Structure 1
Amino acid sequence: MKRVLIRSADWVVAWDEAARGHTYLRNADVLLEGDRIAEIGSALDGEAVSGAEIVDGRNFMVMPGLVDIHSHLCHEPINKGYTDETGSSKLYSSNLYEYMPTMRGDDEVAPWQTRLACAELLMSGVTTIVDMAVPYPGWTEALAESGLRAYVAPMFRSARWFTRNGHVVEYDWSDDQGFAAMEDALSLVDAAEKHPSGRLSGMVVPAQVDTCTPELLRASYAEAAKRGMRWQTHAAQSLPEFHEITRRHGFTPIQWLGELGVLGESSLVGHTIFVDDHPDTLWHTTTDVRLMAETGATVAHCPTVFMRRGMALCDVGRYLRAGVKVAIGTDTFPHNMIEEMRHVGYVARLMAKSPHTLSTRDVFNAATLGGAASLGRDDIGRLAPGGKADLVMVDMTHPLMHPTRDPIRSLVYAAADRAVHTVYVNGEKVVEDGRALRLDIDRAAREVTAGQVRAERLVPERDLVAGRSANEMSPLTFPTS
């Protein structure tokens, strides 16, 4: 079994079992054996390290790989430069209904979007990803190729949403309520669990609370339980959705999930922003946050995509103090987990009007321990003997890591992915010198650019409101001459 010894790392973010939390170790060794962490300590020696490949850890921080529990890898990269500033003024600035449906990649570009996003994630220290996607041919293999530990999470639903006028959201309901699509998705997640890489798992994902019938939500939750899988949906992510669910059922989206019995320890809910006591909902109850805490469901928190629209969860520090479980996802471009972590902290403090609502420890815990717990795992998101050999080596010589008084803060608030040097997943080196080793990121970038050009031509026929061109829907920053 292959052994790798990272010798004399300046800093190691190790798991302290007695304290049940991360701790800094100085000048420590980390021994990998196969796909596991064998030992962490000072000056490891003897038979255990005999024959190990020696990696010089001086001038590095070794930390656990980050866990991204909510992302859309084959859908989002193509939106770069298009949806950065869009939002429907008559739909509370949401981007979901009028703009996003107009920029869709085809099956040809889908695997390249996945590869491009996977490379970005790896190079920002992510080792585990939940990829919520509309399935396409070759999807599972693209994830396996990346080297990531990946949860295959095919989305299915009972209806598609659209708007014909920019101020009313309509739903086109399928005759079978989406059950055939769910069966196809279940076949994919079952296959993922048997993938020979050993790094793929499955997740059951009815797409959105407003596009799924009660029957589909309940049935999908039961199927996830039967398989021992996690279950995730989108809820409380826009004001139009909030109003739609309260109109249909008389409950908030979170309360409706509670009424259906689909909130529990195995449930993840993205994005849980527009809860009953959010200042923009003006609802008559104040129970949503407490309900999330009592049921043990996890909030999949992804602030970047909402910051673009002038929206924010209010605030994640409050959720944590209420006992709500929180993990972090990237959701959108850039698929940069460290920048997402920075936004988690800054947005919370802005919404709370206080620097004390959320600490860097809280943020790092959500990106590691919170993500692992949401997936029902204690062998990732921490560096401990017996855990998976998923780890990140951060270059402490990078100028933006200096001064080095607190390296996690320097990483999150200054250096970000620029200081990520090496990444191991399952004991295999998948990033070296800041570049993903298993993916051709340069070709992926070219293919996604070409795919966006093809998609731009189709924008007028996809814009149901006014048949506008891409440049009319999303004007360039400056005019071209």
Structure 2
Amino acid sequence: MSSARTLVQADWVVGHENSHHTLIRRGQVVYEGSDIVFVGRDFPGEVQESVDYGRSLIAPGFVDLDALSDLDTTILSFDNHPAWKKGRTWPKTYMDTGPYEMYSPEELVFQKRYAFARLIRNGITTALPIASLYYREWGETVEEFEGAADAAADLGLRIYLGPAYRTGNPYIVREGQIELFFDEPRGLRGLKDAVDFCRRLEGRHGGLIRTMLAPDRIETCTAELLKRTAAAGRELGVPVRLHCCQGAFERETVRRLHGMTSIEWLQSLDFLTDRTLLPHGTFASPSRFMPEPGRDLDIIAEAGSVIVHCPLVAARFGDGLESFRSYRQRGLRIGLGTDTSPPDMLLNMQVGLMICRFVEGSAEACTAADYFDAATIGGADALGRSDLGRLAPGCKADFVVWDLANPDLGQVIDPIQTLMIGGNGRDARTVMINGRAVMRDRAIAGLDFAAASARAQSQFERLMAKYPERTLGHPPLSNIFEPSYPLR
């Protein structure tokens, strides 16, 4: 990071005034060290460096509240259903023989570094990682997250870290019958380790590394784990993220075990605060998936908790908010998460916008600006960070230069609308985080992305080869992951 005062300018700049984004033609951003000192036109002071990006948009970096930090498993389940038959839930035979880590410690650190680089390449400057526990012995480890902190700092990614933990795990007894196994002491040890991690790593690497608490899906947590997590979150002052209201199995399990909805149960445990992040919010009442009367959404709004909207991954499996507009009208706070591969926030927003307009039956249901706000201001405010998600004096110098000169992009009348129609993550050319150029012209210093991609593919194939061990009936790999068309 250079301490020199630097001016960057482009055909378009997303500024910020009176709590709202603005568009500035032929705008300028001036930063010194890690902070922005000016946004506008005709900067009156002296600068040591100046860069003109020409036909580009300079915009605040995206805040990803549910950012994929492993090698994506979505592709393994995309056309391979039902999940319990395709290795997405452990069979009892695998539980009985003892689950084990399917990645080595070195592979776990590599997958995070690789995933973090992909986030940067898609214009994401602040991330809260999420990874699957399907291939883990139980939860995530402090050691791998210490490695993740170093990897993020080396790449320059602003990140909130916390190892995932749980007290329970679903498993298949027989075809179609899923039960839960609980080991509360193990889960509470995971919480203790996560709290210690937060205390040790909060603010490391000049504040680039922050921490959070990340209990796993609500149906894999006991009441004691959730109550202690909420108390620890309040004491530490860190975000607490819990995946809930995201599926039929969760809905039915929580009702069976606790006699109420997921949100009603969390309210009874005094879990919900304005620092609580809730991916995904699609199975909250009242909605298409929970048509019975209920107060889930009102409870979330009253607590000030944040819905982490992940439209792309939800749509891939037939889910979706009903709707983004109606949630906003209820006063719900909404940020965005990608939670899948590619971690393309632009594609994520495009899908969300189209779903909202389709569900509402109106092209006026939401705008490009509504989703751009959620991906920037919404995510930053969810973290209590008024210095992120916007370009204004006093904010962190976290911005992305989007290429508008690409002839495949089409014509530009309004740059935000143009990106929402035809842009994708590969249009991010330069990424600045905390005043450091972490990517220039698609290149990340010290990273051979092609070589990393080849290593990721090899590591992924080794993971796939182990799937029969953790699939009901232990079928051959060819029966678990069937090709789109017959192989010849």
TM-score for the superposition, normalised by structure 1: 0.92
User: Counterparts in 2 of 1:230-309, with a 5 A limit?
Assistant: 230-283=239-292, 285-309=293-317
Whole-Å Cα distance in 2 between the matches of residues 32 and 383 of structure 1?
10
Whole-Å Cα distance in 2 between the matches of residues 206 and 89 of structure 1?
22
Q: Structure 2 counterpart of 1:255, which letter?
A: E
Cα distance, 1:187 vs. partner?
2.0
Q: Which residue of 2 aligns with 1:436?
A: 444
Would you say the 8 A contact 1:103–1:456 is kept in 2? no
Q: Which residue of 1 aligns with 2:69?
A: 73
Q: Which residue of 2 aligns with 1:37?
A: 36
Deviations 1:39-83 (A, max 9, x none): 112121334x2xx21111321211001000112312xx2426422
Please say if 1:338 is aligned against 2:346: yes
Q: Which residue of 1 aligns with 2:383?
A: 375
Q: Which residue of 1 aligns with 2:225?
A: 216
Q: Which residue of 2 aligns with 1:60?
A: 56
Cα distance, 1:174 vs. partner?
1.0
Cα distance, 1:438 vs. partner?
4.6
Q: Judging changes above 3 Å, is the alpha-carbon distance between structure 1 residues 469 and 146 closer, same or farther for their aligned structure 2 residues?
A: farther
User: Counterparts in 2 of 1:183-198, with a 5 A limit?
Assistant: 183-198=192-207
Please say if 1:2 is aligned against 2:4: yes
Report the RMSD for the aligned CA atoms in angstroms: 2.2
Please say if 1:311 is aligned against 2:319: yes
What is the SS of the residue equivalent to 1:28? strand
Would you say the 8 A contact 2:63–2:127 is kept in 1? yes
Q: Which residue of 1 aligns with 2:113?
A: 115
What is the SS of the residue equivalent to 1:185? helix
Q: Judging changes above 3 Å, is the alpha-carbon distance between structure 1 residues 46 and 313 closer, same or farther for their aligned structure 2 residues?
A: closer
Number of paired residues? Answer: 468
What are the ranges of 5 or more consecutive residues in structure 2 without an aligned counterpart? 92-98, 132-139
Please say if 1:477 is aligned against 2:487: no
Whole-Å Cα distance in 1 between the matches of residues 350 and 461 of structure 2?
32
Please say if 1:82 is aligned against 2:70: no
Whole-Å Cα distance in 2 between the matches of residues 86 and 16 of structure 1?
48
Whole-Å Cα distance in 2 between the matches of residues 472 and 216 of structure 1?
38
Cα distance, 1:102 vs. partner?
12
Cα distance, 1:342 vs. partner?
1.1
Cα distance, 1:107 vs. partner?
3.3
Would you say the 8 A contact 1:98–1:166 is kept in 2? no
Whole-Å Cα distance in 2 between the matches of residues 102 and 80 of structure 1?
21
Please say if 1:14 is aligned against 2:15: yes
Whole-Å Cα distance in 2 between the matches of residues 238 and 29 of structure 1?
45
Q: 1:408 aligned to 402, 416, 428, which one?
A: 416
Q: 1:390 aligned to 385, 398, 404, which one?
A: 398
Q: Judging changes above 3 Å, is the alpha-carbon distance between structure 1 residues 474 and 106 closer, same or farther for their aligned structure 2 residues?
A: farther
Deviations 1:65-106 (A, max 9, x none): 1000112312xx242642222332789xx995369x999644
Identity over aligned pairs, percent: 30
Q: Structure 2 counterpart of 1:176, which letter?
A: P
Cα distance, 1:298 vs. partner?
0.2
Would you say the 8 A contact 2:308–2:334 is kept in 1? yes
Would you say the 8 A contact 1:273–1:313 is kept in 2? yes
Whole-Å Cα distance in 2 between the matches of residues 206 and 219 of structure 1?
11
Deviations 1:194-236 (A, max 9, x none): 4234200000111121111111101111111111111110111
Would you say the 8 A contact 1:11–1:26 is kept in 2? yes
Whole-Å Cα distance in 1 between the matches of residues 476 and 315 of structure 2?
25
Moved more, 22-31 or 429-438: 429-438
